[in-house]
Amino acid sequence: MKATLKNYRQSPRKVRLIADLVRGKDVSKALATLKFVNKRASEPFTKLINSAVANATQQGAAVESLFIENVAVDKGVVLKRFMPRARGSASRINKRSSHITVVLEERQKANSKKQKANVAVGNA
């Protein structure tokens, strides 16, 4: 159960600050955290998490047991612009964008996967 946002016009470095806040949290706690964060990327993150929750409910998952398993912020398209400088020269301005991916998982499924992995290794 995942949702993606492509070509969000903010640099990945700034968006990753928000991604680090919500990674690994329950969905309700993550949304409560984003409500009080004073960053521009918090609103798109809230919409993206709500979209992932809607995708999860379509697949029959219980909303209360969902948590954010993975958040990826990747580099998107870079728009190159120029600023006039002294003596007829110009310097480049990079207008960066981000691709954001949020993956949700249910708590019971995540625990059972870990248990199966431990049994396979022999660490029961």
Q: CATH number, domain at 24? A: 3.90.470.10
Residues spanned by the domain of 30: 2-121
Looking at this protein, which amino acid is placed at residue 62? A
The average pLDDT across 86-103 equals: 98
Instruction: Determine the Cα–Cα distance for residues 31 and 25; give it in Å rounded to an integer.
Output: 9
123 pLDDT higher than 70: no
The average pLDDT across 79-98 equals: 98
pTM of the model: 0.84
Domain count, the chain: 1
Asked if residue 21 lies in contact with residue 104, where contact means CB atoms within 8 angstroms, the answer is: no
